[in-house]
Copies of this chain bind each other. A is one copy, B any other.
């Protein structure tokens, strides 16, 4: 069944993806992105959408096992007909070819519900206020996470580090935390993640930080961490999932939206920093060659 000349167009693309060239991959993505409609126009239109040349499209049709572009198009039409005429259009499931009960579909359902509910109750003023805080170059930013949410803290830190300076990731070991609190002054910002089970140490850290005059931005779940009473701004994300654990997807989502907003706010500087960073990476590579 690993023959080239069998299966749907999409399957063939996936199967051969590794053997495809750069331009062909670009084309594949366009075709899969709006499948199968994008492949039903003229070869020229498809080529233009994918920003490749028409011959590239024709060549790929050959690679996929068709006699030419029109033949592939006919295959697409036939597929489409089969899909549309099947009794219950299978657009109900997220992952095609999987039953509704497959974990992927159940998860997709849960995650989009979480996202919808979270966004519905999310306070935009809070969001914008946090963007302002994180964009302010005069403030020191500290980031801290818990046992699981440490990865989220790390993710935020990695990105913020590119956007601006004065960002510190507080390590997991709470023994060292007082040293960090010692340096916090009025106007500084502590971004903390506290998802159930809530960690007592995080609560203490939040308390100490606010006492020093720092502002607390707290990421927590729908039940709310006890540290929330110290928070200037908070995000309560829905984290339910068909699993023994909670889902961090929505938190990741808010993080990325925040990062994007801050990056826009400080675009000039961000761009310069990214450019410099590129150069530094290049020099690192050079350095490695000599070792």
Nearest residue, chain B, Cβ from A104:
B257
| Interface residue? A168 (CB, 8 A) | no
The 0/1 profile, CB within 8 Å of B marked 1, for residues 144-180 of chain A is 0001101110110011000000000000000000000
Q: Are B92 and A87 in contact (CB-based, < 8 A)?
A: yes
| Interface residue? A229 (CB, 8 A) | yes
Q: Are A150 and B154 in contact (CB-based, < 8 A)?
A: yes
Contact of A32 (CB < 8 Å), options: B34, B104, B121: B121
Q: A32-B120, A116-B94, A120-B95 in contact; A253/B249 too (CB < 8 A)? A: yes
Contact of A91 (CB < 8 Å), options: B116, B124, B256: B116
The count of identical subunits is: 2
Q: Are A119 and B103 in contact (CB-based, < 8 A)?
A: no
Q: Are A244 and B158 in contact (CB-based, < 8 A)?
A: no
Residues of B near A96 (CB, < 8 A) are 119-120
A51-59, A183-191, A207-215, A260-268: which lies at the interface: A260-268
A49-77 contacts to B (CB < 8 Å): 74, 77
Chain A interface: which size bin? 35 or more
Q: A18-B228, A95-B122 in contact; A151/B148 too (CB < 8 A)? A: no
Query: In the bound complex, how far is the Cα of B103 from the Cα of A97, in angstroms?
Result: 33
Contact of A33 (CB < 8 Å), options: B117, B127, B150: B117
| Interface residue? A115 (CB, 8 A) | yes
Residues of B near A104 (CB, < 8 A) are 119, 122, 124, 127, 257
Residues of B near A123 (CB, < 8 A) are 14
The residues of A with any CB-CB pair to B shorter than 8 Å are 10, 14, 17-18, 25-26, 29, 32-35, 37, 40-41, 74, 77, 80-81, 84-85, 87-88, 91-92, 94-98, 102-104, 107-108, 111-112, 115-117, 119-124, 127, 147-148, 150-152, 154-155, 158-159, 222-224, 228-229, 236, 241-245, 247-249, 252-253, 256-257, 259-261, 263-264, 270, 274
**Can you report 7 residue pairs joining A to B where beta carbons are below 8 Å apart?**
A18-B224, A26-B223, A29-B223, A37-B84, A94-B119, A103-B261, A148-B158
